[in-house]
Amino acid sequence: MPEVSASIDVPAPPSVVWRVLTDVDAYPQWNTLLAVDGEFAVGKAVSARLSVPGLPTVSFSPEITVIEPARELRWRSRLFGYDAEHSFLLVPQNDGTTRFVQHETIDGPFAGRIVDRLGRRMRRGFEQMNVGLRRRATELTER
């Protein structure tokens, strides 16, 4: 399956990164990619808006499939006839920091063409979110 991913090193422990990732009410302060309404709970759907740079904003309702506090949040969604699985991974580093990874796989007819065409923009959106998350987690760590 075609995929897109982006990672960043965050100078904060996974517990702080998790707090930033799951505090959807604070997303407007740092997250330019996603707006989320609802609570992250396995088997439940949240309402989300995705604003990938250079593309129209899209509303969707991903279903939460995995919650492992301070380790992983994963959801599945269906958009325009394509199935997507998106994971947010928090990988603890030996120095107490966190590698934050966003990873998306897309399945459906011509999914490879979609990723070939839009993958760069998607990755740029992931990278922008990652930078915002790092900035927010760093601010919380320095307090």
pLDDT for 98-130, tens place per residue?
999 999 998 988 878 877 888 889 999 999 999
Q: What is the DSSP letter of 26?
A: G
pLDDT tens for each residue of 11-58? 999 999 999 999 999 999 999 999 999 999 999 999 999 998 888 999
The string of DSSP letters for 27-91 reads: HHHH-SSEEEES---TT-B-EEEE--TTS--EEE-PEEEEEETTTEEEEEEEETTEEEEEEEEEE
How far apart CA 61 and CA 37 sit, in angstroms, is: 10
